[in-house]
Structure 1
Amino acid sequence: MEKNEILKINKTYWDTNADLWFGTTALPEYGVKFVTEEDLHLFGDVSGKKLLEICCGSGHSLKYHADRNAAELWGLDISHKQIENADSYLKEHGYTAKFICAPMEAEAGIPTEYFDFVYSIYGIGWTTDLLGTFKKIASYLKKDGIFIFSWHHTLNYCVAWSCTERKDIIENDMLVFNKSYFDEAYFSMPVDGSEIILCNRKISTYINALAEAGFVVEQMIEQTDDETMKSVGDNSSKTKKAKMLPISFCFKARKL
């Protein structure tokens, strides 16, 4: 499938369903059943800093930084409905941001060597050009600027529960690979009566693209939150899975 067609399908989904995701997976959260910014302190003090969010969604992560005295906030998103929601949400709380409605892969008129932080909370995996996107993000950052992003962990899409009749398997189920870790082909996924198009990239793909774009990785986190790990009596498949493998991951990288 052509990249433009993938972007069109995904944009249509978000323009149609933005309200369903209002306020989900936003700072201080980095992902599902995952350690938070309150645990990790990846941003540190953002007072007086300029920040750009890639795939800004409903604006909740931008508000998180506005509450912490960020000097300037920008948001980029492919969906005009997401931009509308984010703009309204920030204004309701007395804040403003500069918004651009465009794909992250596009030349969008974003200033170069301008930002202290560029970040994306569960958004970067939507790109159809990972290396190109990382190179653009590097160009937006000042020297020694920080890029932080989180996404679904690769293993999460590769491993699923499978029932078995063996009596020595606890609760008659186990985790099995249902997809190759090495398969980075695009796939269609039905969601909310519509569809989205994604691919499942290897962790090494992210690391190598960061290096080629001029970043050095300072931290990679793939840790389930303590509450989930210590939970007792929660036998939901997602909780059991999160105790055995990471559902999400997060990178912090510095521009050289």
Structure 2
Amino acid sequence: MKKDSGQRVNIIGAGEVGLATLVDLDKKNIHNVNSSFWDTKGNEVIGTTALPKYGAFITEEKIRLFGDVSGKKLLEIGCGTGISLKYHGERGASELWGLDISEKQIEKTKECLSSCGFSATLICSPMEEECGIPKDYFDYVYSIYGVGWATDLDRTFHKIASYAKKDGVFIFSWSHPMHKCVTIENDSLIIKKPYFDESWYTVSLGGGEISLSDRKLSTYINALSKAGFTIEEMVEKSDEEILQVYENNDFSKKAQMLPVTFVIKARKL
């Protein structure tokens, strides 16, 4: 993965975390970097984002995008440690499937589900690639902070559309692109990178390394449209009641002023 001489800030939470080094898009190398990170440092450094949380300050218990999943077939893209699959298992889903790029995350999902008496069909593969998931099969496909890792968003959304039944639902969350542009300093918002910058970068975190691109919101919306989805709902405002539970730190202050997470519910036409 050829590294560019350019650098810019990387933002996690309310502040900057090291310098991001700009890189060329090399899908194979990016997959290797990110799978290695989640095989080793991922949960220790970034933690786990899983239902009922969609991300910071937004929860399924508040916005109710799934509704009743009893008897439904669900596929998670980026299943991580299995907590979201467990959440749906407890709500009566008839079939659970999970996809993740990391063998270690797949192992954690198996452990999580088996400890609760649930089972799932689990596949280790990049989300962009053909991996044997059945077509026109699922009532819901969803991803909690997963699809943003895709190296090819158009191809990923077309794959997801092929997995869903006609009128099937696709729900996903990710870090809001405005959040990745702005830090809070002395109670003021400071723009640190252009919103329109979608270049790929690597950054060191906790002894590991990740590769990402901070895509515009329109990039996600246009990719959904091209894949044959119609958007039913988008949530980007932090829940006021949840914000009040947290200490008045920089991150919660930031979340009161701009979106830090976005969630989209789309339906296959």
Report the 3-state secondary structure (helix = DSSP H, G, I; strand = E; otherwise coil) of the residue aligned with 1:205.
helix
Match among 66, 70, 83 for residue 43 of structure 1: 66
TM-score computed with the length of structure 2 as normaliser: 0.88
Aligned length: 245
The 1:92–1:44 alpha-carbon spacing in structure 2 relative to 1, beyond 3 Å, is same
Match of 1:177 in 2: 191
Q: Summarize the alignment of residues 103-122 of structure 1 with structure 2, pairs less than 5 Å apart.
A: 103-122=126-145
Residues 1:235 and 2:248 are matched in the alignment: yes
Q: Which moved more, 1:135-144 or 1:239-248?
A: 239-248
Task: Specify the structure having the higher radius of gyration (Cα).
Answer: 1
Aligned partners of 1:60, 1:161: CA distance in 2, in Å?
31
Report the 3-state secondary structure (helix = DSSP H, G, I; strand = E; otherwise coil) of the residue aligned with 1:30.
strand
Give the CA deviation at 1:150. Answer: 0.1
Instruction: State whether residues 31 and 122 of structure 1, in contact with CA within 8 Å, keep that contact through their aligned partners in structure 2.
Output: yes
What is the letter of the counterpart of residue 149 of structure 2?
W
Aligned partners of 2:115, 2:210: CA distance in 1, in Å?
30
Match among 167, 179, 194 for residue 156 of structure 1: 179
Give the CA deviation at 1:227. Answer: 2.9
Match among 189, 199, 202 for residue 203 of structure 2: 189
Query: Which structure 1 residue ranges, 5 or more long, are not aligned?
Result: 163-171
Q: Which moved more, 1:83-92 or 1:189-198?
A: 189-198
Q: Summarize the alignment of residues 1-256 of structure 1 with structure 2, pairs less than 5 Å apart.
A: 1=24, 2-20=26-44, 24-32=48-56, 34-162=57-185, 172-230=186-244, 234-256=247-269
Give the CA deviation at 1:18. Answer: 4.5
Give the CA deviation at 1:161. Answer: 2.2
Query: Which structure 2 residue ranges, 5 or more long, are not aligned?
Result: 1-23
RMSD: 1.5
Instruction: State whether residues 99 and 125 of structure 2, in contact with CA within 8 Å, keep that contact through their aligned partners in structure 1.
Output: yes
More strand by share: 2
Report the 3-state secondary structure (helix = DSSP H, G, I; strand = E; otherwise coil) of the residue aligned with 1:125.
helix
Instruction: State whether residues 228 and 239 of structure 1, in contact with CA within 8 Å, keep that contact through their aligned partners in structure 2.
Output: no
Give the CA deviation at 1:145. Answer: 0.1
Aligned-pair identity (%): 57
Report the 3-state secondary structure (helix = DSSP H, G, I; strand = E; otherwise coil) of the residue aligned with 1:105.
coil
Instruction: State whether residues 41 and 208 of structure 2, in contact with CA within 8 Å, keep that contact through their aligned partners in structure 1.
Output: no
Give the CA deviation at 1:228. Answer: 4.7
What is the letter of the counterpart of residue 225 of structure 2?
A
